[in-house]
Amino acid sequence: MDGFSMNTAKSFLGKNVNLHLKDGSVIINVQLAEIQRDELRRETLVRCVPYGNKDTFRVPMKNIAWAELLNLNLLLTTG
């Protein structure tokens, strides 16, 4: 399995995902909003928006192991 790369991040932009980090933790149900480059620290950051929230946060791309695409139609259905 390849690591989380720039091309992978671009394919998930605007979609809701679970982000699996390399330390084993999971950030659930966030929308990938933007890919940013921090020239001072020389790292690439992924800006995320939590579901139902307008605040954003950034995660360094090197800390992301993989992303799991979510189907919101399954999550939002009521029984």
Tally of CA atoms within 13 A in the half-sphere of 13 that contains its CB: 13
pLDDT of residue 76: 57
Confidence of residue 77 (pLDDT cuts 50, 70, 90): low
With tokens 């330390």, the residue in question is: 23
Sign (positive or negative) of CA dihedral 42, 56, 71, 27: positive
pLDDT > 80? residue 27: yes
pLDDT of residue 79: 53
pLDDT > 90? residue 56: yes
Task: Give the Cα separation of 46 and 4 in Å (integer).
Answer: 11
Task: Give the Cα separation of 30 and 53 in Å (integer).
Answer: 10
Task: Give the Cα separation of 54 and 34 in Å (integer).
Answer: 14
pLDDT > 80? residue 21: yes
pLDDT of residue 3: 74
